[in-house]
Amino acid sequence: MYSIDLTGKTALITGVSNKRSIAWAIAQILHQAGARLAFTYRRERVKAKIEGLASELSGSLFLECDVQNDEQLKAVFTEIDSKFGRLDCLVHSVAFAPPAELGGLFVNTSRDGFKTALDISAYSLIPMAKHALPLMDKAGGGSLIGISYIAAERAVPAYNVMGTAKAALEQIIRQLAFELGPMNIRVNGISAGPIETVSARGVPGFTDFFSMYEQRAPLKRNVTQEEVAKSALYLLSDLGSGVTGEIIFVDSGFHIVGY
Ligand code: NAD
């Protein structure tokens, strides 16, 4: 038997906004495995909500961080260093594109919309990795994950510039994995099937994808946040010790189907 014990380890969770967030399911499973958690929230007004959600996860840290704000990003890691003294796991579960960029014609993508989507949803992993590096070094290594979607490699209606951002995110994952591997820091991605969250609802027609997965995916159903979290636990813990630069599909097998 191989048990997963993250006692004494610390994890930074970004992207929890409510109980449906994929990051919240990951936080819960890491907590159950014994990890101490730090959460970031985008705006002060959602702080109380996240604190309420995470009230049973004693000892957690809550830090404001809009990933477009370099000072806030840096301060998150300074705070984790002073409170925990190390970082073992990092979950990047943040994405955004201006609503006008989703659902219409991709040829109408604006320069500003492109910049915003790529900045928040892809670039942000780079400074996170940079600031995490010394803290993971102190811990003797670490593991980072990002959450992607099949639109990184296939054309998906309405997803538009978010697909571009996911393609960038997956490349960033590989490039970071290459660079940080010698420091025993692993970087991987999970490509999740559609799950009902605030972000998913922002893509017009996204809910139609649910029935498509039920019909076409080998498992004939959609995946849950908890299933994404289980694969996250594998990648973030010693169970995934030999895996880096990988994108794992947690999508009921939808991506292998050719019709
Ligand atoms: P969600 O809306 O719960 O999470 C997205 C998070 O991004 C929110 O917490 C939001 O506050 C945060 N965010 C947006 N802009 C930010 C900024 N500037 N600074 C800091 N945080 C910011 O939705 P989710 O579905 O849990 O999304 C998590 C990740 O999973 C995203 O990367 C998303 O693209 C990805 N994903 C989702 C699905 C799905 O169907 N839900 C499928 C594949 C991948």
Confidence grade of residue 155 (pLDDT, cut at 50, 70, 90): very high
Distance CA 89, CA 236 (A): 6
pLDDT score of 209 more than 70: yes
The pLDDT, as a whole number, for residue 46 is 83
Find the Cα–Cα–Cα–Cα dihedral 66, 95, 170, 178, rounded to 10°. Answer: 20
Catalytic residue among 41, 159, 213, 234: 159
Instruction: Give the atom of ligand 1 at the shortest distance from the alpha carbon of 20.
Output: 3
Q: How many helices (H) and strands (E) does the chain have?
A: 9, 7
The pLDDT, as a whole number, for residue 57 is 82
Q: Which amino acid is at 39?
A: F
The pLDDT, as a whole number, for residue 1 is 66
CA 1 to chain centre: 29
The pLDDT, as a whole number, for residue 129 is 98
Q: Is 2 a catalytic residue?
A: no
Q: Which has the minimum average pLDDT: 90-104, 161-175, 199-213, 215-229?
A: 199-213
pLDDT tens, position by position, 128-139:
999 999 999 999
Confidence grade of residue 207 (pLDDT, cut at 50, 70, 90): confident
Averaged pLDDT of the chain: 96
pLDDT score of 223 more than 70: yes
Handedness of CA 19, 24, 25, 31 (dihedral sign): negative
Q: What is the mean pLDDT of residues 118-127?
A: 98
Q: Which has the minimum average pLDDT: 179-188, 199-208, 250-259?
A: 199-208
Smallest CA separation from ligand 1 atom 19, residue: 66
**Regarding beta strands 142-148 and 185-192, do their DSSP bridges make them parallel or antiparallel, or are they unpaired?**
parallel
In this structure, what are the phi and psi dihedrals at residue 136, rounded to the nearest 5 degrees? -75, -30
Above pLDDT 70, what percent of the chain?
100
The pLDDT, as a whole number, for residue 171 is 99
- Kindly report the length of the chain: 259
Distance CA 198, CA 65 (A): 19
pLDDT tens, position by position, 15-72:
999 999 999 999 999 999 999 999 999 988 888 888 888 887 878 999 999 999 999 9
Assess whether the C-beta atom of 198 lies below 6 angstroms from ligand 1: yes
The pLDDT, as a whole number, for residue 15 is 97
| CB-based contact 127:82 (threshold 8 Å) | no
Residue 252 three-state SS: coil
Assess whether the C-beta atom of 119 lies below 6 angstroms from ligand 1: no
Q: Is 149 a catalytic residue?
A: yes
Q: Does an H or E element contain 256, and which?
A: none
Catalytic residue among 2, 41, 123, 149: 149
Is this model's pTM higher than 0.85 or not?
Answer: yes
Confidence grade of residue 86 (pLDDT, cut at 50, 70, 90): very high
Q: E strands along 74-151, which residues?
A: 89-92, 142-148
Instruction: Give the atom of ligand 1 at the shortest distance from the alpha carbon of 94.
Output: 7
Q: How far is the CA of 32 from the centre of ligand 1 (A)?
A: 22
Assess whether the C-beta atom of 50 lies below 6 angstroms from ligand 1: no
Find the Cα–Cα–Cα–Cα dihedral 12, 194, 114, 74, rounded to 10°. Answer: 0
The pLDDT, as a whole number, for residue 3 is 80
Distances (CA, A) of 183 to 23, 24, 116, 135: 26, 28, 31, 11
